[in-house]
Amino acid sequence: MAEIKCVGILTSGGDAPAMNAAIRAVTRAAIYNGFEVKGIMRGYRGLITGEIFPMKTQNVSNIIQQGGTILKTARCKEFTTPEGRQIAYDTMQKEGIDALVVIGGDGSLTGARIFASEYNIPIVGLPGTIDNDLYGTDTTIGYDTALNTIMEATDKIRDTASSHERLFFIEVMGRNAGFLALNGAIATGAEAAIIPEIATEVDQLAELIQNGFRKSKNSSIVLVAESELTGGAMGLAERVKNEYPQYDVRVTILGHIQRGGSPTASDRILASRMGEAAINALLEGQRNIMVGIQNDELVYVPFTKAIRNDKPINRDLLNTIKILSI
């Protein structure tokens, strides 16, 4: 295998808190180990447009605490075509980039897998997504911060909800995965979580109403994962109005505040460890793997495993919510 001299870094897809901490860790660990580093702007788009610049240790100073990503992120349609990927490869050759570290979610790592199967490039992925929906890692970069943002927002909504006798649906992100809704519900003492994973098995709304709400409580909060499968908070509120008009229902969609903000300590530590591990993986000759964490141990997960498998939710947590909200 050709020797790696220069590592390119990019962030792609949906942004997540602590992506900057990951960029910092990858850059510094790479420089520490004698690699040259280049930053690629706007995800795969930068490989098409050639927006690439050399990264020194100072370029990543003072960013560990910042949300967002200094490398920006984008969705790049051209990279999904073989012609686009050919341009991306040519750009890498021109820039002398021998290996890539891709920080992103399911889509970004799918792109990485395809790119690596077509060209002989070592690529290491880092799971950067608030959704926590990548298989083979207990948690992903940005998930803990998003969960804390949901917790703070929901606590505030609880104050107003309990001043009225209201049923509140709070919509959180997680198009295909209920991790944020499920753990957000536990962290806030919500009455229920409505998640896509079990949407085809049970009518979660009917079950919720049938269980009734705690008599001693004058408000009910339900966290809903935004998903066609759950119907989203608006869809569910519409159903309540039609099917259970005795309830006074309100909706809050948390939206993009879930992606922003200064990362939590957990996310900064995770991103720092994973960033260093990405460079160690390249030094060990690993390629086409995602760095994951399992029981606090860093692991290498083949791309095919990380993106092809649905990460299962812990179903016991649904019961925990039920028991603790009686």
- Nearer to ligand ADP by Cβ, of 107 and 261: the residue is 107
- The residue sitting closest to ligand ADP, measured at its beta carbon, is 107
> Residues 98, 106, 131, 267: which is the catalytic one?
131
268's enclosing H/E stretch is helix 265-283
Taking Cα atoms as reference points, which of 172, 149, 145 lies closest to residue 21? Answer: 145
Q: At what angle do helices 232-243 and 204-211 cross, to 10 degrees?
A: 50
- CA 151, 156, 159, 165: dihedral to nearest 10 degrees? -80
Q: In angstroms, what is the minimal distance from the CB of 9 to ligand ADP?
A: 15
Residues contributing to the site for ligand ADP (CB under 6 A): 12-14, 43-44, 75-76, 79-80, 104-108, 110-111, 114, 129
89, HSE (Cβ side, Cα atoms, 13 Å): 17
Beta carbons of 42 and 294 less than 8 angstroms apart: no
Angle in degrees, CA 220, 224, 227, rounded to 5: 160
- Nearer to ligand ADP by Cβ, of 59 and 176: the residue is 176
Q: In angstroms, what is the minimal distance from the CB of 19 to ligand ADP?
A: 11
Beta carbons of 157 and 170 less than 8 angstroms apart: yes
Count CB neighbours of 72 within 10 A. Answer: 18
Per DSSP, helices labelled H in 197-256 are 204-211, 232-243
- Nearer to ligand ADP by Cβ, of 249 and 275: the residue is 275
Count CB neighbours of 234 within 10 A. Answer: 14
Three-state DSSP at 159 gives helix
Classify strands 249-253 and 192-194 as parallel, antiparallel or unpaired. Answer: unpaired
- Nearer to ligand ADP by Cβ, of 14 and 67: the residue is 14
- 131 classed as catalytic: yes
Q: How far apart are CA 190 and CA 118, in angstroms?
A: 47
Q: In angstroms, what is the minimal distance from the CB of 102 to ligand ADP?
A: 9
Tokens matching residue 138:
């207990």
Q: In angstroms, what is the minimal distance from the CB of 7 to ligand ADP?
A: 19
- Nearer to ligand ADP by Cβ, of 12 and 188: the residue is 12
Q: In angstroms, what is the minimal distance from the CB of 84 to ligand ADP?
A: 8
Q: Token pair 């409580």 is at which residue?
A: 217
Q: In angstroms, what is the minimal distance from the CB of 225 to ligand ADP?
A: 16
- Nearer to ligand ADP by Cβ, of 74 and 185: the residue is 74
91, HSE (Cβ side, Cα atoms, 13 Å): 23
Which residues are designated catalytic? 131
